[in-house]
A = this chain, B = another copy of it.
Amino acid sequence: EGFVIRAVELNRSEGKITLDGVRDTPGMVSHLFQEMAGRNIDVNLIVQNSGPAGDAHVTFTVRREQLEAARTACEAVREKLGATAVEADANIATVSVIGVGMRSHTDVAARMFAALARANVNIDLISTSEIEIECVVRESEACRAHQALLQEFHPELE
């Protein structure tokens, strides 16, 4: 498969915002993130899935000190987005596996998720890109999750 693991990372400084029932029509997330930009809220992870019923589920992370400001911003646009609910959650951590040449993520993902499962860590959110797989877990499980991944990918990280 040709990929090489470069790093395993832990981020405990964020909170997440979830919007449910966002109207699945053009312009909705544009409006949401224009609002974040206008209020100088720094967004890190953004994940969106679409439901079968014309609604979408959007989650994003911010530094914890900006969590309340982000929630306020979302409440301001909630109606325009058609969102049924806005929730803020400060008790998260993110663990990431970073590599190069990750054309296929299957093996890395299988190993990462298996390591977390063996540590009995529940995966709240998954986001990927060409070089990274990120999982959001409960803050209370952060250390266990991080240790599990360091152990799994230890050989390659030497």
Chain A residues in the interface with B (C-beta under 8 A): 18, 20, 24-27, 29-34, 36-37, 41-52, 57-59, 85, 96, 98, 103-107, 109-110, 113-114, 116-117, 120-134
Contact = CB atoms under 8 A, between A and B. Distances in A.
B30 A128 contact: no
A125 to B, nearest CB: 6
B48 A123 contact: yes
B120 A26 contact: yes
Contact of A126 (B29, B37, B42, B117): B29
A5 to B, nearest CB: 15
A135 to B, nearest CB: 8
B117 A30 contact: yes
Contacts of A125: 48-50
B128 A131 contact: no
A36 B112 CA distance: 14
A33 to B, nearest CB: 4
Contacts of A85: 52
Contacts of A58: 126
Contact of A105 (B46, B117, B124): B46
Contacts of A128: 44-47, 127, 129
Contact of A49 (B49, B103, B120): B49
A26 B120 CA distance: 6
